[in-house]
Amino acid sequence: MIDIQDTPLPRSTNTNVFNDEEFTTSAFWVPALGVVATASMLQLLAISVGATTLIYFAAKGLLSLKSGALWVAGKVANDNAKNKRHVHYEAIRTSNSLGIWVGPGRSKTKAISRLKSGLDTWSIGSSNALSIAKGASPTGRYRYDSAHSAGKGKRTFAHYHPYEYGTHSFYGGGKLW
């Protein structure tokens, strides 16, 4: 078993990397489970899912800690979409093989507000992504885009846009080019 509480965080002079002087948390969001997790809960997760699986995801760069929340790669979120508490999640675009980071779950109302405020979302399934894109548009209009072509090794996702906004309502596991 991994002892999270006694594991020191790496120190860095790089301001883009969290270290124990800059950031600490006692609980964080695990979108694949739809719950907020404490360190002891993460230990239990490591037991139930398997520490090897968590280490594998971390080593492959498929997990990220952002603002106290555990974010997963869009493909990982899509592959683990069953039995989730939410169907809409925060999303952040990347320009690499992950395509997007999927973060905390949101209600339909909060997902619509996120799109209206210029931020992206990821939803389980096309119909859920479409419903919030329509909801964010004052006229109910939307625009569909299949996964855009990209450079080799980059992942893109099919998505909807609220007609009046440039934000993205992503869904699915994306396409790796």
**Residue type at position 1:** M
pLDDT tens digits, one per residue of 44-92: 444 445 556 656 666 666 666 666 666 677 777 777 776 678 899 999 9
Please report whether residue 5 resides in a domain. Answer: no
Please report whether residue 17 resides in a domain. Answer: no
Q: How many structural domains are present in the chain?
A: 1
Enter the pTM of the model.
0.65
Place of tokens 């569909």: 144
Please report whether residue 58 resides in a domain. Answer: yes
Q: How many angstroms separate the CA atoms of 104 and 70, rounded? A: 8
With H, G, I as helix, E, B as strand and everything else as coil, classify residue 32.
coil
Helix (H) or strand (E) holding 142: strand 142-145
Q: Over 50: is that where the pLDDT of 158 sits?
A: yes
Please report whether residue 10 resides in a domain. Answer: no
Please report whether residue 22 resides in a domain. Answer: no
| Per-residue confidence band for 99, with pLDDT thresholds at 50, 70 and 90 | confident
Comparing 32-36, 101-105, 134-138, which segment has the lowest mean pLDDT? 32-36
Range of the domain at 170: 27-176
Q: With CA atoms as reference, report the closest residue to 121 among 152, 84, 160, 149.
A: 160
Please report whether residue 3 resides in a domain. Answer: no
Count how many residues are written for the chain: 177
Query: Which residues contact residue 62 at a Cβ distance below 8 angstroms, ignoring those fewer than 6 apart?
Result: 72, 73, 75, 76, 98
Place of tokens 């004052």: 138
Among 4-18, 25-39, 47-61, 96-110, which range has the highest average pLDDT?
96-110
Q: Mean pLDDT across the chain, nearest whole number?
A: 73
With H, G, I as helix, E, B as strand and everything else as coil, classify residue 109.
helix
Please report whether residue 16 resides in a domain. Answer: no
Please report whether residue 4 resides in a domain. Answer: no
